[in-house]
Amino acid sequence: MIKKSKILFLIAGLCMSGILSAQMLKGRLYSLNDSLPVIYWIISTVDSSDQILTATMSDIKGDFLIPVPKGTCYLSITHINYWELQLFNLNQASPDTSDIGAIPMVEPFPYLINVQFVGISARKNKRKQKQHMRSYNKLVKQCDDIIAERGTCKVRLIATTAGNGKSEELRVIYKIDFMELTDKCKP
Residue 12 lies in a domain: no
How distant, in Å, are the alpha carbons of 43, 58, 62, 72 from that of 100? Answer: 14, 14, 13, 16
E strand residue ranges, 23-137: 23-31, 42-47, 52-57, 63-68, 72-79, 83-88, 97-105
| Residue 81: inside a domain | yes
pLDDT, one tens digit per residue, over 71-90 is 888 999 987 655 788 888 77
Total number of domains constituting the chain = 1
- 165 in a structural domain: yes
Question: How far does CA 80 lie from the centroid of its chain?
Answer: 10
Is 86 part of any domain?
Answer: yes
Chain segment 98-138, per-residue pLDDT in tens? 888 888 887 766 666 666 777 888 888 888 888 888 888 88
Average pLDDT in the 39-66 region? 93
Domain span at residue 145 reads: 23-184
pLDDT-derived band at 64 (thresholds 50, 70, 90) equals very high
- Residue 107 maps to which CATH number? 2.60.40.1120
Look at residue 13 and tell me if it is in a domain. Answer: no
Residue at 120 is within a domain? yes
Per-residue pLDDT of 140-168, as tens digits, reads 888 888 777 776 777 778 787 777 666 77
Residue 31 covered by a domain: yes
Query: Would you say residue 18 lies in a domain?
Result: no
Q: What is the pLDDT of residue 16?
A: 46
